[in-house]
Structure 1
Amino acid sequence: MFQSPLIVRFWGVRGSIPSPGPHTVRYGGNTPCVEIQAGGERLIFDGGTGLRVLGEELLKHLPITAHVFFSHTHWDHIQGFPFFQPAFIPGNCFHIYGVPGVDGHSIQQCLNDQMLHPNFPVPLQIMAGALKFHDLGPGAVTKIADATITNQRLNHPGGGVGYRIKWHGQVISYVTDTEHYPDKLDPAALSLANQADVMIYDATYTDAEYYSPAQSKIGWGHSTWQEAVKLAQTARVKHLVLFHHDPTHDDEFLDEICQLAQQAFPNTTVAHEGLILSLGTS
C-alpha cells in the first residue's frame, strides 16, 4: 500500500534570539520550530518565533490537531507560543509534551509563567483551543499513531532533551541545544542519531569560536559544526542538517560553513526557513 512520505519543514532555525534584518534574509532569523508530518499526524518540535509563522499557515487548515514537543524551556524555544494563533481558536487541539528541567518545573508551568504580568498582557488561559499537557520522563517512549518518539537527556544548562522520531522505518533525530564533551562523543546524542535518515544538530558555533581564548563558549550549552560532522560520521547518519545558528552568523558566514561542512560530510545541509525534506518509506 502506498504511504505518503515523511515531511520535515523548518519554520525557525536561529538560536538564542530572533535576528531579522538584511543580512539574515536567506537563512532566516526566527528561533527554533520544526514541523514533521507523519502520515496524518502533525508533530512540532519547539516553539520559538518560527511557531508564529507555522501558526499562520495552519489557519488555512482548520480544525487542527497537533503534537508539540519541547526540547527545553529557554526563551528562544518557547517565545513563539503566546503568538501561536491556532491555540486561541476553539475546536483546535494541541497535545504539548516536555521533560521537566532540573528545577522540576513542568512544561505547563513554564508556558504559563511566561504569559504572566509583567511579561505578557494576557494569560495562557485565554487560549480557547484545547491544550493537553503531558509531562515526559527522561528516556520516555511516546506513540502517536504509527510514529514512535523517544527522548534522551542532553548536556545543556538547566536541562534539555533531544528526540528520535521513527515512522515506517524512517528516522529523524532532533539534537539541539547540546554541548559536546571534550574527549568523547555524547552517548545520548549517539543513541538519538544512530543510523538516522536525518540528523538535525545544534551547530551554533565554529570550533574557533567555541575555543576562542578571547571569549570562549565552553559551558554555554552549544556545539559546533565540526562536532556535528564527527557525530554524523560515527552514528552513520545519512543526512546532516546544521541548525540553531548563532545570531551573529549572517548569510555569507553560513554559506562558508556549508562549504566547509560539505567537504567533510558531503550530505550536509545548513537549515534555512522554508527548507522542506521529504523522506520516502521503506
Structure 2
Amino acid sequence: MRAGHAGTAGRVVASLSPYTCRARGVGQERPLETAGKGLAKTQEFWVKFWGVRGSIACPGPSTVRYGGNTSCLEMRCGDRRLIFDAGTGLRVLDDELRTRVPVDADLFLTHTHFDHICGFPFFSTAFDPRNTYRMWAGHLHPERNLRDLLCALMSDPVFPVPVEIMKADMSFRDFVPGDVLEPHPGIRIRTALLNHPQRAVGYRVEFDGRSICYITDTEHPAEGVDPRIAELVAGADIMVYDAMFTDEEYPSRVGWGHSTWSAGMRLAEAAGVKTYVVFHHDPAHDDDQMDRIAAEVAERRPGTVVAREGMVLEP
C-alpha cells in the first residue's frame, strides 16, 4: 500500500481554489433508463447505485423496493471503473467484483463519516493481491490523510483486522476541494467543497462529452443556491443530490449538513441540470413514503428520478 498526493496513473491537473439502466431496482427488472435521450454515444458511460441511504443502513421488509444500504455508486467510463463512497453498498458491489478479478478501480470518498466508509473494512477484493485500488479523498488535507484515517478505522479495539492485511495494490491520494483530477486519460473530474460538518467534496465526472455529478452530503443555503455547487453541476446530464429530508422535516434539522428534494430541484433548475436524481434517503423513510416522494417530484419536475439500489442510469 502506498500513500501520497495524486501522482502518475491518476493526477491533479489543476488546483482551482484551496477551500473557496439497464435500470434495475431492488427485486425488479425495468428497461434501460437513458437520461440523455437522442444523444450520439461512442463509449460506455453509466452510473449504478449500490447504496442509496444516509446515516445508517436500514434493511428490512419496509425498504425492499428502494434498498437499505448506505452510499455507494459505481461509474463506468469506457473500460475504467470508478467507485464513489464506501458505505454498506460497497459490500454488495464487492460480491460482483469478486467475479471480475483482477480488478483495477479508483475509489473516491465524499467524506469519511461512518455511513460512507463502514463498508471498507469488509471490502474483500482489497484483500486479493491480484487487484489494484486507488483511494481518493479531498476533505482531509492538510490536517489528516486518508491512509492514516483508514488505518485508525481498522485498528484494535474497533476492528480486529488491520488495514495492512489488505494485499491489493492500494494507493492513497489526498487532494483539496477545487482540484481537477484526471485519474485516467479522457476522464476529467472536477471537485468542489460541500456544506457539511468536517467538510465533504462533490464530484463532476466528465467523459465522452457527457457528465455525471455526485453531490452528497451537503446543506442548501437559506436563500438561493450554493454558488460553488451551481457552478460544478451547471449543464450536467445527471446530478445525484443529497435529498435526505422533506421540507416538513428540515426545520428541526438545520445545521445537520443535509438537504431536501425541493432544494435539489431548485438547484437543478438554476443550473440547467438535465436529470436530477434524489439520493441519500433518510433511513426512517420506508418504501411507501419514498413512493409518495417519487410521485411528487415527478409531478413537479418530470424526468426526476428517485434512486433505488441496483438502478443504472446512462446520460
The answer, yes or no, to whether TM exceeds 0.5 is: yes
Q: Hey, what's the Cα distance between the residues in 2 that align with 1:268 and 1:232? A: 10
Q: Hey, what's the Cα distance between the residues in 1 that align with 2:228 and 2:313? A: 25
Higher relative contact order (CA 8 A, sep 6+): 2
Distance 1:19 1:97, change over 3 A: same
Instruction: Give yes or no for the alignment of 1:276 onto 2:315.
Output: no
Q: What are the equivalent positions in structure 2 for 1:76-87 lying under 5 Å apart?
A: 76-87=115-126
Deviation (angstroms), 1:37: 0.3
The match for 2:74 is: 35
3-state SS of 1:131 partner: strand
- TM-superposition CA deviations, 1:48-71 (whole Å, max 9, x none): 010111011011111000000000
3-state SS of 2:112 partner: coil
The match for 1:262 is: 298
Q: Hey, what's the Cα distance between the residues in 1 that align with 2:140 and 2:132? A: 25
Asked if the contact 1:100–1:106 (Cα under 8 Å) also holds between the matched residues in 2, the reply is no
The match for 2:147 is: 108
The match for 1:50 is: 89
Equivalent position to 1:217, from 248, 253, 264:
253
- TM-superposition CA deviations, 1:126-182 (whole Å, max 9, x none): 001011110112211111221101110010001001000000110111001000000
Q: Hey, what's the Cα distance between the residues in 2 that align with 1:45 and 1:133? A: 14
Deviation (angstroms), 1:2: 7.2
Instruction: Give yes or no for the alignment of 1:14 onto 2:32.
Output: no
The match for 2:200 is: 160
- TM-superposition CA deviations, 1:239-282 (whole Å, max 9, x none): 11100000100000011001111111111111010001123xxx
Percent sequence identity over aligned pairs? 47
Amino acid in structure 2 at the alignment position of 1:220: W
Q: What are the equivalent positions in structure 2 for 1:187-202 lying under 5 Å apart?
A: 187-202=227-242
Q: Hey, what's the Cα distance between the residues in 2 that align with 1:3 and 1:65? A: 22
The match for 1:171 is: 211
Q: Hey, what's the Cα distance between the residues in 2 that align with 1:243 and 1:5? A: 23
Deviation (angstroms), 1:118: 1.3
Q: Hey, what's the Cα distance between the residues in 2 that align with 1:100 and 1:110? A: 12
Task: Judge which range, 218-227 or 109-118, deviates more.
Answer: 109-118
TM-score by length of 2: 0.85
Unpaired runs of at least 5, structure 1: none
Unpaired runs of at least 5, structure 2: 1-39
The match for 2:191 is: 151
The match for 1:134 is: 173
- Count of residue correspondences: 275
Amino acid in structure 2 at the alignment position of 1:244: H
Q: Hey, what's the Cα distance between the residues in 2 that align with 1:56 and 1:253? A: 29
Deviation (angstroms), 1:184: 2.2
